[in-house]
């Protein structure tokens, strides 16, 4: 555990700098919370203009605060922050929470103040949460440095938020639910302490069973990946990512670039590191609570016990939509169910005990279903009605849950009449949902985490020996250019062992004819002109030329066409390439994400890549499992395996090409984007050929 972060949650003493005696001030709320929830350390308000606040002695300056004090909570104007940091350093305080706003988030002078504050903190070995945050909570120590009203009960969830307002809203939403938390951490601008720091800290804290995060952006992509991958092996991380649309993505030249927005990189990273992404704030805590209180399901077969057929039907539909299925109850289980249920009850799954079902009926049904080997998950549902007390039903559910290690997720449809029952179930560690359609996404997330936990430890593929000097020569020769066409990019592919279709560059028509004769007919001609990347869109490709005369005339046709349509294009000639045998066309590409680095793409290739969007992404460095997964989740991957009697393609050749291209991206940061489209894949054992390629270079 990172000991530098311990004082943010378990300090020996807390100084509140800027403490106010006015109840409408944030610092008053912070002092009130420190006093209210059982924190046993020293509490030291600092204000030169007050003697006592809330019965606590106030100190005029920090230097007069007695020992021990190892955490400072700063609620002072932004212009006083640097002087305050010096006072903390002189006092020996190494942990500071800056509640104050007005830093980087407002621009201008705030950016410079934040930079200077960070420089000072690092120079003096200090850690800072914030600025522009609401503080921290630790439900075990009773520490509450926030001004939020209320504090959740103690439980398994550590919550990290880059938004203070979201923290406050969450507390208000869950206060009466009995959903338990271990910690809250509002990080604000993340000037110093980041989400990766918090993931690492909570990953090592035995009080934390699951980490829930509201994320707007990652500060250090490589660190985030390393910590998320490590901690996901220990406990689940559930993520709600804000800002998921790509409206702000920059314009790019390649198919890979145009399809790979910034959120795509986050999705790839979450997939590779075992982070469970959710869609809504409600789902964030629905999933986190289930992962923190229930055993992981051993399968996807769900048994429903209900007093309302309609509610069960809605649940069954939702389960199916999320990859689960209704369990086939054994004949023995159905016979046992009939012994005590209403003779008119439905004992096939869903088990519909009808509207008059009582607590004893639920208990009997759950006890029979939990013993059935065909059942992995129990999902009782109650729609309230006048004759049955929901709390009695909830107690029956808890009695059943205590008898089995199987996952139990429950649904109490309603609000007013089930509040007490809902609180009882959550307090007992049994997740309860208001609507049937909330259960399926939770089970899907639990299964996803179980699948990740069973995966092999991430091990990057071993790079094969590459001729890096050849690549360096290409890049140095083209210094100042923003893109490389196929002629230059072929050299990069060759250097990394990716086979190109036979061909060469012709500067004029006679040379084109000579090359064609040497490599063998039929051939293709492709224009090579700086500024013309998508040759097919520009009419810069001719196919199936059968003799020297058609090559000569084709060369003249292409060059004249490009001169006419692109007067400013610098034409170097045309590539003359042997027509490759037919095969399955796929695309392999890389776009360098500013946060996470090289992001690899795989999918269906050809001219309709952007229309089909049959693509998947992973961030390098890749393991063999990463490569296999990014192939398997696409239609192209299914076609490679063979469908409707077609033979299996050379998937190993595709895997090797992806690994090689990702290694090239890691070796040469100058490559902003690189793409092979199409890579033609042949039957197993016959390899693959790059028919076209291009690259975009990082501006110098």
Q: What CATH number did the domain enclosing 479 receive?
A: 3.30.1490.20
Last residue of a domain, one of 427, 453, 479: 453
**Cα–Cα dist 67/685, whole Å:** 73
| Number of domains making up the chain | 4
- Say how many C-beta atoms besides its own lie within 10 A of residue 67's C-beta: 10
- Degrees (nearest 5) of the Cα angle 158, 146, 289? 25
- Say how many C-beta atoms besides its own lie within 10 A of residue 232's C-beta: 23
CATH number, domain containing residue 207: 3.40.50.261
Same domain, 170 and 276: yes
Name the residue among 75, 73, 20 with its Cα closest to residue 42: 73
Domain assignment present for 195:
yes
- pLDDT beneath 70, residues of the chain: 1, 246-261, 533-534, 608-610
Last residue of a domain, one of 523, 545, 578: 578
**Cα–Cα dist 615/595, whole Å:** 21
Residues spanned by the domain of 663: 584-697
Same domain, 474 and 489: yes
pLDDT at residue 501, as a whole number: 94
Domain assignment present for 397:
yes
Cis ω before 467 (30° cut-off from 0): no
Each residue of 245-281: pLDDT tens digit? 754 444 334 444 445 458 899 999 999 999 999 999 9
Domain assignment present for 198:
yes
Q: Bin 178: left if φ > 0, else alpha if -120 < ψ < 50, else beta.
A: left
What are 393's two structure tokens?
């039903």
Domain assignment present for 462:
no
**Cα–Cα dist 625/630, whole Å:** 9
Same domain, 251 and 152: yes
pLDDT at residue 1, as a whole number: 66
Same domain, 361 and 476: no
**Cα–Cα dist 301/378, whole Å:** 9
Domain assignment present for 459:
no
Query: Is 542 within 8 Å of 506 (Cβ atoms)?
Result: no
Query: Is 70 within 8 Å of 12 (Cβ atoms)?
Result: yes
Same domain, 442 and 509: no
Same domain, 529 and 387: no
Domain assignment present for 460:
no
Same domain, 279 and 331: no
Each residue of 586-599: pLDDT tens digit? 999 999 999 999 99
Domain assignment present for 458:
no
The half-sphere exposure of 328 on its side-chain side, counting CA atoms within 13 A, is: 1
* Per-residue burial over 483-514, b = 16 or more CB atoms within 10 Å of its CB, e = otherwise: bbbbbbbbbbbbbbebebbebbbbeebebbbe
Token look-up 């063999």 returns 624
Rg of the chain, C-alpha, whole Å: 31
pLDDT at residue 665, as a whole number: 97
Q: Compute the Cα dihedral for 120, 125, 126, 131 and give only its sign.
A: positive
Task: Report CA-CA distances (Å) from 429 to 179, 236, 290, 399, 471.
Answer: 8, 17, 8, 12, 58
Same domain, 96 and 244: yes
Same domain, 669 and 551: no
Same domain, 611 and 668: yes
Same domain, 215 and 364: no
Query: Is 214 within 8 Å of 133 (Cβ atoms)?
Result: no
Same domain, 488 and 523: yes
- The residue length of the chain stands at 700
pLDDT at residue 252, as a whole number: 37
Last residue of a domain, one of 544, 578, 612: 578
pLDDT at residue 176, as a whole number: 81
**Cα–Cα dist 522/547, whole Å:** 7
Does pTM surpass 0.85? Answer: yes
Cis ω before 350 (30° cut-off from 0): yes
Residues 6+ apart with CB under 8 A from 615: 259, 587, 601, 602, 603, 604, 609, 634
CATH number, domain containing residue 623: 3.30.470.20
Name the residue among 47, 58, 39 with its Cα closest to residue 18: 47
Q: Compute the Cα dihedral for 27, 29, 35, 40 and give only its sign.
A: negative
Domain assignment present for 93:
yes
The half-sphere exposure of 123 on its side-chain side, counting CA atoms within 13 A, is: 11
């Amino acid at each position: 555990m990172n000991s530098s972060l311990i004082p943010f949650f378990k300090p020996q003493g807390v100084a509140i700098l800027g403490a106010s005696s006015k109840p409408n001030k944030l610092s008053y709320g912070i002092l009130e919370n420190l006093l209210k929830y059982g924190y046993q350390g020293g509490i030291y308000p600092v204000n030169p203009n007050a003697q006592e606040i809330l019965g606590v002695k106030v100190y005029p300056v920090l230097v007069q605060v007695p020992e021990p004090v190892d955490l400072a909570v700063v609620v002072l104007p932004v212009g006083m922050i640097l002087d305050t940091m010096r006072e903390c350093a002189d006092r020996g305080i190494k942990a500071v929470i800056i509640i104050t706003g007005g830093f980087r988030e407002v621009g201008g002078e705030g950016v410079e103040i934040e930079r200077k504050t960070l420089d000072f903190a690092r120079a003096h070995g200090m850690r800072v949460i914030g600025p522009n945050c609401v503080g921290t909570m630790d439900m075990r120590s009773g520490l509450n440095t926030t001004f939020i009203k209320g504090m959740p009960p103690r439980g398994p969830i550590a919550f990290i938020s880059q938004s203070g307002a979201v923290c406050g809203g969450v507390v208000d939403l869950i206060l009466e639910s009995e959903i338990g938390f271990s910690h809250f951490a509002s990080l604000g601008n993340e000037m110093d302490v980041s989400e990766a720091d918090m993931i690492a800290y909570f990953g090592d804290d035995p009080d934390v069973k699951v980490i829930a995060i509201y994320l707007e952006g990652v500060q250090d992509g490589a660190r985030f990946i390393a910590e998320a991958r490590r901690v996901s092996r220990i406990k689940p991380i559930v993520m709600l990512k804000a800002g998921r649309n790509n409206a702000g993505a920059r314009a790019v030249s390649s198919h890979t670039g145009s399809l790979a927005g910034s959120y795509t990189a986050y999705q790839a990273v979450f997939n590779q590191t075992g982070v469970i992404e959710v869609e809504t704030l409600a789902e964030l805590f629905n999933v986190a609570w289930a992962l923190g209180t229930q055993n992981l399901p051993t399968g996807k077969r769900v048994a429903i016990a209900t007093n309302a057929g309609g509610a069960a039907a809605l649940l069954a539909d939702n389960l199916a939509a999320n990859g689960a299925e209704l369990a086939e109850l054994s004949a023995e289980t159905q016979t046992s169910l009939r012994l005590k249920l209403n003779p008119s009850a439905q004992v096939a799954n869903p088990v519909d005990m009808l509207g008059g079902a009582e607590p004893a009926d639920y208990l009997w049904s759950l006890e029979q279903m939990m013993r059935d080997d065909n059942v992995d998950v129990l999902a009782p549902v109650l729609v309230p009605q006048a004759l049955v007390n929901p709390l009695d039903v909830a107690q029956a559910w808890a009695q059943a849950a205590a008898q089995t290690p199987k996952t139990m997720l429950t649904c109490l449809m309603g609000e007013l009449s089930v509040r007490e029952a809902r609180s009882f179930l959550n307090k007992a560690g049994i997740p309860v949902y208001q609507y049937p359609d909330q259960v399926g996404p939770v089970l899907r997330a639990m299964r996803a985490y179980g699948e990740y936990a069973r995966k092999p430890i991430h091990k990057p593929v071993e790079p094969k020996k590459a001729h890096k000097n050849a690549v360096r020569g290409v890049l140095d020769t083209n210094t100042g250019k923003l893109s490389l066409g196929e002629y230059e990019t072929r050299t990069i592919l060759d250097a990394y062992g990716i086979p190109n279709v036979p061909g060469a560059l012709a500067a004029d028509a006679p040379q084109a004819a000579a090359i064609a004769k040497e490599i063998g007919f039929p051939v293709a001609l492709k224009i090579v002109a700086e500024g013309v990347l998508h040759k097919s869109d520009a009419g810069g490709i001719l196919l199936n030329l059968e003799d020297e005369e058609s090559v000569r005339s084709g060369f003249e046709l292409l060059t004249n066409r490009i001169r006419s349509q692109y007067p400013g294009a610098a034409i170097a000639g045309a590539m003359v390439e042997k027509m490759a045998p037919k095969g399955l066309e796929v695309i392999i590409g890389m776009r360098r994400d500013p946060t996470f680095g090289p992001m690899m793409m795989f999918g269906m290739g050809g001219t309709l890549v952007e229309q089909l969007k049959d693509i998947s992404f992973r961030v390098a460095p890749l393991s063999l499992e990463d490569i296999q997964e990014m192939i398997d989740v696409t239609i192209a991957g299914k076609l490679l395996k063979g469908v409707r009697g077609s033979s299996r393609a050379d998937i190993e050749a595709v895997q090797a090409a992806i690994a090689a291209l990702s290694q090239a991206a890691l070796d040469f940061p100058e490559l902003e984007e690189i793409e092979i489209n199409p890579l033609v894949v042949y039957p197993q054992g016959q390899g693959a050929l790059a028919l076209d390629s291009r690259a975009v270079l990082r501006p110098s």
